[in-house]
Structure 1
């Protein structure tokens, strides 16, 4: 069977639009008594999501490498706590998991949101793994597996892993995901990690849905105002149409360029919407399930009027690839020589 015949990538008609915000998707939703963990919940889209979820009544735990910076950023925001977490350090992940499990609290929502931009040359973690694949996928994979007992104890939980339309660009580089034998290509490293986010979502939902744990991979759109996008530099931002001649962010949600509140909306929709109660293992866009683009075609990125497609493509939801990635990831988090 192929993804085109078995997939669940069909919009549910949520009624939301590209311009919908976190407040729109959370209207009428009460998260009192719900526990949330969000990685990178102190900056960019993560901070917007943290504010929105706490406002709706959730108790939010943020995993951050820089706890001082994170605590300053979330000071005064509802019931929010910060814990040290470095997704490139397996021991840090294990310590974070142990501390949460020791609290005895069930985990209703896990948002794997933090990302490593991977600008410049190749960066490797202590195991020799390419850092974007290691942080964006493997770190979150290890974190999620560790938190499984708390997710199961919730009696209905969601795992939300923030992805990107870049998943269209590359499948998993199965022969050399860490660029150890070939030349490093940053134009493939980030997309590979984002495809991994979607495949992880597909397989997690298949394995854990029976335990009441469902999985989602939201694409937030392009948010010029975030540090992640600003990190490429003004010249590159201008070339991509993210900022105008005066350096101001270009906001055009119908073309995928959003405010932080609009970008985080799809993440929060994935975490909370009752419309997804009986659906999982899907890629989301614009606060709805994305359709599958079964015949993706090349796009002329040099044309400033081009609307870059972001719908999910077959290689990102292939169930065989999803199972293969899960098994590979299990080996990789256990042994750097796997």
Structure 2
């Protein structure tokens, strides 16, 4: 039975904790004969997920802009291949998807994990779209739609799109998602893209559950050791309590500050856990389904001692917004490159 995301945003009681690792959540699961794609599967959380999935017997395809770097990173990890994928280049996305479809293999798990960390000034993709919205959402949207035949052929597949607790901080900027009016704000650009990840998950599950394709949006926590978080700079990391005075990562999983192995746990849980069978279109945290926070309040992110909530909020799972974003995204990915 297919259930709506807003009805399913209730913890399962999975038994896992914020300290659980990817190896913990995949223990005892056999993925022999399963095909997996992990975008950005050669670094950070993606690399941990690639190791865990390949270690359980899966054949993993890693999508990366830098294939040489990726091949060095995954060398010796088992049945792993690397193919070029640039989520800011629509032609690269099509080429990657065509190459996979031409192989004739079903796709059992698609992990949309790669992300664009953003910058102080606006960056655009090949179509002229704001890069965080383009890479984190539209690139994965285009890729997933192109791979639909392979997902359907699996006879039971999962699409996992890595999101963030930052989804709480902004709805979709419906009037100007690409900041074309000159009001670019990096503090809104990233959260908007993460809200888009969750809304995409909600609508994909509604549309494709009948094909046996279920969707999940895991929040991995804050992982100071990843290049993605290091991109904000040491001063900002120190202000947020992500690194200490010596520059070492602060690990406090109960407050959401995790090692890469702990952060990747929720991604791997989304991709593989039998506890999620029959459920889809949900936002996950700490290797379980997140409750819905129906009364979110602002938080001072510059206070390293603040309790930063990460549960999903109503605007991120609103079914009407999810349909609206899907339709907008279809229009945007059809638009020719500039």
Q: How many residue pairs were aligned?
A: 335
Q: Give deviations 1:192-212, integer Å, cap 9, x for gaps.
A: 000000000000000000100
2 CA distance for matches of 1:6 and 1:183?
32
Q: Give deviations 1:31-75, integer Å, cap 9, x for gaps.
A: 000000010000000000000100000000001000000001001
2 CA distance for matches of 1:39 and 1:98?
15
Aligned in 2, Cα 1:209/1:100: closer, same or farther, shift over 3 Å?
A: same
Q: Give deviations 1:6-35, integer Å, cap 9, x for gaps.
A: 431010110000000011101110000000
**3-state SS of the aligned residue for 1:7?**
helix
Q: Which moved more, 1:173-182 or 1:137-146?
A: 173-182
Contact map agreement 1:4 1:314 (CA 8 A) in 2 = no
2 CA distance for matches of 1:168 and 1:236?
20
**3-state SS of the aligned residue for 1:23?**
helix
Which residue matches 1:290?
A: 290
Contact map agreement 2:4 2:206 (CA 8 A) in 1 = no
**3-state SS of the aligned residue for 1:17?**
coil
Q: Give deviations 1:262-309, integer Å, cap 9, x for gaps.
A: 000000000000000110000000000000000001123343321100
Q: Give deviations 1:134-158, integer Å, cap 9, x for gaps.
A: 0000000000000000000000000
Please show how residues 45-84 of structure 1 align to structure 2 within 5 Å: 45-84=45-84
Q: Give the gaps of 5 or more residues in structure 2.
A: none
1 CA distance for matches of 2:176 and 2:147?
29
2 CA distance for matches of 1:30 and 1:7?
30
Contact map agreement 1:128 1:336 (CA 8 A) in 2 = no
Contact map agreement 1:45 1:260 (CA 8 A) in 2 = yes
Q: Give the gaps of 5 or more residues in structure 1.
A: none
Which residue matches 1:233?
A: 233
Which residue matches 2:266?
A: 266
**3-state SS of the aligned residue for 2:36?**
strand
Q: Give deviations 1:217-269, integer Å, cap 9, x for gaps.
A: 00000000000111111111111100111111000000000000000000000
Structure 1 vs Structure 2 CA RMSD? 1.4
CA drift of 1:127 comes to 1.1
**3-state SS of the aligned residue for 2:8?**
coil
**3-state SS of the aligned residue for 2:73?**
helix
Contact map agreement 1:219 1:266 (CA 8 A) in 2 = yes
CA drift of 1:4 comes to 10
Contact map agreement 1:4 1:294 (CA 8 A) in 2 = no
TM-score in terms of structure 2 length? 0.97
CA drift of 1:5 comes to 9.8
2 CA distance for matches of 1:42 and 1:328?
31
Q: Which moved more, 1:299-308 or 1:145-154?
A: 299-308
Q: Which moved more, 1:176-185 or 1:43-52?
A: 176-185
* Correspondence 1:177 to 2:177: yes
Q: Give deviations 1:301-336, integer Å, cap 9, x for gaps.
A: 343321100000000000000000000000000015
Q: Give deviations 1:100-138, integer Å, cap 9, x for gaps.
A: 001000000000000001122000112110000000000
